Structures are given as C-alpha cells and as structure tokens.
Amino acid sequence: MNLPGFSVRKPIFTTMVALMIIIIGAVSLGRLRIDLLPDIELPTLSITTEYEGASPEVIERLVTRIVEEIVATVPGVEEITSTSSDGRSRVRVTFAWGTQIDTAALDVQSFLEDEINELPEDIVKPRVRKFDISSFPVVILGISSNIDPVELTRLIEDQIRYRFSRIPGVAQVDLWGGWDREIRIELDPDRVKALGISLNRILRVIRDANLDLPAGKIEEGRYEVTLRAPSEFAGLDQIRNTVIFIQDGAAVTLDQVAHVKDTYQKHTRIVRVNKDRGLRVGIRKQSDANTVEVSRGILAEIESLKAVFPQVNIVPVINQGNFIQRSISNVARSVLYGGGLAIIVLLFFLRSFRSTLVISMAIPISVIATFMLIYFGGFTLNLMTLGGLALGIGMMVDSSIVVLENIFRRQEENHEPPMIASVEGAREVAPAIVASTFTTLVVFLPLVFVRGVSGILFEELAYVMAFALICSLAVSLSLVPMLASRLLASHKNI
C-alpha cells in the first residue's frame, strides 16, 4: 500500500504519529543546549616548556629543537611550528583532520615523558594543551573594592571563587591580575660579600629550613602512628632568625644580611574596573553544559554575593550567554517571520482558509521534527542549525503545494470524490516531488564531506536542512492527503 493511500485510509494512525512527532520534538527542544556556534575542536596541540633565566637562543637550542624532534615521531603529525622567547618555549603541533585530539594528546605526553631526560634538568615539565573554543570563559567578571588589595585577592580566592565553582555547569574559575602574597628576601650585597657566603648556599639553607618531611612510624601492638617533622615557616620572624652561616662560633642569621618583607608579587597585568584598580575573574563552563543556563546562574550568584559582600563591586565585563541569547533570538524570530509570511502568501494566492491550513501544517511539523535530529544527533541550538531552518522554511511547503494543487485538479476535472482525489492526486505527483526534493538535497549534502573549520561549521546546517526537507516531503505525502480528504470533503471548490 502506498503512503498517501495508507494515510487517507488510516487517519487516526496518521494523526497519532504526527502528534507523537510534535511531542517528542517539543521535549527535545526543551532539552537542547544553546550555544553560539557548533563545537569546534581543532586538531592542534601546544606544548609549553619554561626554562627560567634562559635566553631565546638557549631555549631554541636546548629545549625547542629537542621537543620538535620528539613530537615529530608521533603518528599523524602534519605541521610543527615553534616560538622561543625569554624563559619559554612553545611548540604548536597540527594533526590531520579527523584525528582524535584527546588520543593524540596522550601520545604526545607519553613520547615527551619517555624522552624527558634529553631536556635540561631544571626546566618546568612540558605542558600539553589542546585548542578548544568551548574552553574559553563564558563570563568574565571585573571585581574592585576599597579594601586592601592583598585582602581582596585572599577573599576572592577563599570564598568568592568557590561560590562560583559550585554553580551547575561551571568547570573552572580563573583569577587574573591579583595581588598574590610574596615573602621577598632582599640580600645586602656588601654584607654577603664580606662574609663570603655564596647565593646558592643561602638558597639551600632557606629551602632546607622550610620542609615538612615524614619521620617514619611507630608500631606498638595493633596500633601504628605515623610521624612527621613539621618545620615549615609559620611567620616572618622564623625566616629572619634562620641561621645561614656560623663563623668563629657565632651564628649569622638571615636578617643580618637581608631584609625580609611581606609583600605581593610583581604585577605583569593591570586590571581596571570603572577606572579603579581591580581583578578579573574568568569562568569556564563544562563541555556539555548549556552556555545560557550557566551564564544565568553566574548572574544570579553575583546578586547574592553583592548582598553578602557589599564592600565588593562585581561587574560582568563579558557575558557570552547574553550575546548568544540575543543572537539565537534574532535568528529564531527570523524563522517565525519567514513561516508567517509564507502562510500569508499562500492565503493570498489560494484564497481558501482550509487549503492554507492544510499546507501550513507542513511547516511546524517539519520544524519540530527537525529538533529531534538536533537533540539525538548531539547538536546544539546555534546559529548554524537555526540558519538551516531559516534557509529551508520556504522550501518546506513546495511539495505540499504541488500535492494539494493536483488533488484540486482531479476533483475539478475528473469529478472524483475527495478520498480518491487525495490518494490518486498525491500518488500521481509523488515521483516528481521526490525527485525535486532530492535535487535540492544534493546541493547541501556535499557540505557534510567538507574538511576543516568550514566543514565543522556547515555540517550541522547541511544535516538540519536535509532532514527538514525530508520531513516536509513525508508530510506532503501523508498528512496533506489525509487532511485534504477530510477538510475539503464538504467543498466543491478549494
């Protein structure tokens, strides 16, 4: 039995299937993640190695070249670029498209660990990072206050930062431009030279005096007690009274050759909030979290923090959620306007409310059914998926118009009953509208095979566009004949 005939003979089944699609699509729409663009994960890794005090030439010779040789043996590497600067080496590795970047990162890390002995001993262990757009902060806050900057930094680190971390969907909270506490020891060169003490010895003495080491364990019967020898510095006086040298039986303490200050680290980044010195907090979301929902939770937490800490001024500087929400709303509005105008144009030319109602059913059902693809396909509701709907909104009624026009022709010319006219009219033009739909699909489906960033961006648009057209084709061959056989039965003319 053909699809139009089955739909006309089984109207209840056809109606229930349509309602089921509408319900599932509506539920899928409520659970969709909202984002600005599709998830873009470039096949690129960066390897950062720090070597304090080394010049760019030394970094290039002792670090960068060795890291490049190690990474070049990893399978799938297509391009390696590097940058050497004062105390830092950065190597960027590009893999072939389609490479699982997480697996590649593990391979690179494993190769580096196996050959780590080729690098200088006093370097900072190389860090491997992947480039992911979703890892950028969704909200950046500016925080200022009249209290002491060091106390403000401590307040943010100990309390405010963790209140943002517990928001559902938040993965990481970073603090930039803070006044981090630093115990600074400024040596007097003349006194150090007069005593004949080397800098390495002073550093070693301070390091050895600030330890917390295990001291074994005591076993007695069924009890076991673990011992430790805590000797970490608890205050500035302990640092000042540290013995660094003994000469002629007299102990020389650190405060005799240096000034010990409780200050903060030297600033390399200055943040201003409304012309006042402040700090910046970047909040990153989890990869599967809804950007809009996370930003809403952050804004709600800001209001509660203002009530708890009135002396702290918190200002959202960048809010991706607000920008995404406005962008998505604009595109969604365009889809609604396009659908509404399409229905008005149909009503103007058909001059029949019932005929317009029959055809206009193809638009919402096709759109709602497409939300199922977006949800079960793991896509997000972004500019590209909504752009696909906006692009195909006018094409969704083409097949239905052809089917309804042929039903009208058979009623008028052949004087067939509505049931027979609906079945035979849809069946007669079915090959033509199927060929027309697939002609449109072959234009968009090749976008699925495009590689690179363009392929990632337009892949979801192609899928959404193709699925929406297929849904509209199924509606024109099932729901339209069924509705035409019922709604147009009592009218001789459409």
Structural domains of the chain ordered from first start:
3-31+352-487 (1.20.1640.10), 41-133 (3.30.70.1430), 182-264 (3.30.2090.10)
- Alpha-helical runs (H) found in 361-451: 362-376, 383-392, 398-413, 418-444
Contact 227, 214 (CB under 8 A): yes
Look at the pTM and tell me if it is higher than 0.75.
Answer: no
Phi and psi at residue 178, to the nearest 5°: -80, 160
Please report the pLDDT score of residue 489 as a whole number: 54
Please report the pLDDT score of residue 492 as a whole number: 45
Please report the pLDDT score of residue 494 as a whole number: 42
Alpha-carbon distance 366 to 364, whole Å?
Answer: 6
Please report the pLDDT score of residue 491 as a whole number: 45
Please report the pLDDT score of residue 403 as a whole number: 85
Residue with tokens 């209140």: 163
Kindly tell me the burial class for residue 141, based on how many C-beta atoms sit within 10 Å of its own C-beta (0-12, 13-18, 19 or more).
buried
Residue with tokens 């593990």: 106
Q: What is the identity of the amino acid at 431?
A: P
Please report the pLDDT score of residue 343 as a whole number: 78
Tally the C-alpha atoms within 13 A of residue 316's C-alpha that lie toward its C-beta: 20
Please report the pLDDT score of residue 138 as a whole number: 84
Long-range Cβ contact pairs of 452-458 (< 8 A, separation 24 or more): 452/97, 453/40, 453/42, 455/97, 456/38, 456/39, 456/40, 457/37, 457/38, 457/40, 457/384, 458/384
Contact 51, 70 (CB under 8 A): no
The percent of residues above 70 in pLDDT, for the chain, comes to: 95
pLDDT per position in the chain (494 positions), as tens? Answer: 478 888 888 888 888 988 898 899 889 888 888 777 777 777 888 888 888 878 888 888 888 888 888 888 888 888 889 888 888 889 998 888 777 888 888 888 888 888 778 888 778 888 888 766 666 788 888 888 888 787 888 888 888 888 888 888 888 888 887 777 778 888 888 887 877 888 888 888 888 777 766 777 787 777 888 777 667 777 788 888 888 877 777 788 888 888 888 777 777 777 778 877 788 888 888 877 778 888 888 888 888 888 888 888 888 888 888 877 787 777 677 777 777 787 787 778 767 777 777 777 777 888 888 888 888 888 888 878 877 877 777 677 778 888 888 887 787 777 778 788 888 888 888 888 888 888 888 887 777 777 777 777 788 888 888 888 888 888 888 888 888 888 765 444 44
Kindly tell me the burial class for residue 46, based on how many C-beta atoms sit within 10 Å of its own C-beta (0-12, 13-18, 19 or more).
middle
Please report the pLDDT score of residue 133 as a whole number: 65
Residues β-bridged to residue 260:
185
Nearest to 335, CA basis, from 455, 443, 464, 442: 464
Contact 141, 281 (CB under 8 A): yes
Q: What is the identity of the amino acid at 370?
A: T
